[in-house]
């Protein structure tokens, strides 16, 4: 499958490398056509690893991942172009974080979320928020954790969520995907990221996740 990834940081590269390993053709999109980290990644990751602008990557992808920083996501998606995202599934992994102080804050929260803002700005794109609650390494290899944990999914389109659930299971190995409901539940998972940050500080590791335990 052809997959577009918006972003060229650790998350974009980690997801991109996993998808290339699986035999997909992957294009990392950046603000500039030849973003140095994306070029280096493409050179290292083999012939199915490509790079281009946000617009190139969105047009290339049958499915598109948003792996930009939350603060840059709406701008990156605008550059990608609504016509290049129309009718497609957009897997949104970003968090609207301000990390400029020791105690992180969110730039959007409580009565709105980045996931909702993206869905409102691109009404003909099927936005599915997921994977934002774990570090990039855990995203693509949850089996590295000592026990099976949960990943969450928020979105308005039932069929798109079924496709994303299969992607999470078959490509990344997520055995438990909890559908939280429509895109307003993106607030829940974005706001959880502050607990993720407190936990990271408390346990001095980024390789962890949570498991929901019932009675």
Q: Using the rule CB under 8 A, is 202 a contact of its own copies?
A: yes
Q: Using the rule CB under 8 A, is 199 a contact of its own copies?
A: yes
Taking CB under 8 A as the binding criterion, the range among 4-12, 67-75, 99-107, 165-173 that sits at the site for its own copies is 99-107
Contact 3, 62 (CB under 8 A): yes
C-beta of 182: minimal distance to its own copies in Å? 9
CA neighbor of 73 nearest in space, from 12, 21, 133: 12
Q: Using the rule CB under 8 A, is 82 a contact of its own copies?
A: no
Alpha-carbon span 182 to 128, nearest angstrom: 9
**For its own copies, the closer CB: 77 or 180:** 180
First-to-last alpha carbon distance for the chain, in angstroms, is 41
Output the CA torsion sign for 94, 161, 58, 121.
negative
Alpha-carbon span 85 to 206, nearest angstrom: 32
Q: Using the rule CB under 8 A, is 188 a contact of its own copies?
A: yes
Q: Using the rule CB under 8 A, is 117 a contact of its own copies?
A: no
Q: What angle do CA 89, 39, 99 make, to 5 degrees?
A: 65
Q: Using the rule CB under 8 A, is 213 a contact of its own copies?
A: yes
Which residues bind to its own copies, rule: CB under 8 A? 103, 105-106, 109-111, 144-147, 149, 152, 178-181, 184-185, 187-189, 191-192, 194-195, 197-199, 201-203, 205, 207-215
């Amino acid at each position: 499958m052809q997959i577009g990834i918006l972003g060229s940081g650790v998350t974009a590269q980690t997801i991109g490398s996993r998808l290339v390993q699986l035999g997909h053709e992957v294009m990392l999109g950046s603000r500039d056509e030849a973003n140095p980290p994306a070029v280096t990644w493409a050179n290292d990751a083999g012939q199915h690893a490509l790079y281009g602008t946000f617009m190139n990557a969105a047009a290339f992808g049958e499915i598109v991942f948003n792996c930009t920083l939350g603060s840059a996501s709406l701008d990156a998606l605008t550059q990608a172009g609504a016509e290049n995202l129309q009718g497609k599934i957009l897997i949104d992994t970003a968090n609207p974080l301000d990390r400029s102080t020791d105690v992180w804050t969110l730039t959007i929260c409580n009565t709105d979320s980045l996931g909702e803002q993206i869905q409102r700005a691109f009404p003909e794109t099927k936005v599915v928020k997921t994977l934002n609650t774990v570090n990039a390494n855990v995203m693509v290899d949850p089996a590295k954790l000592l026990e099976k944990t949960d990943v969450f999914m928020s979105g308005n389109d039932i069929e798109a969520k079924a496709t994303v659930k299969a992607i999470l299971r078959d490509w990344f190995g997520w055995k438990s995907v909890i559908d939280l409901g429509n895109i307003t539940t993106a607030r829940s998972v974005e706001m959880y990221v502050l607990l993720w940050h407190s936990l990271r500080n408390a346990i001095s590791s980024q390789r962890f996740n949570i498991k929901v335990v019932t009675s």
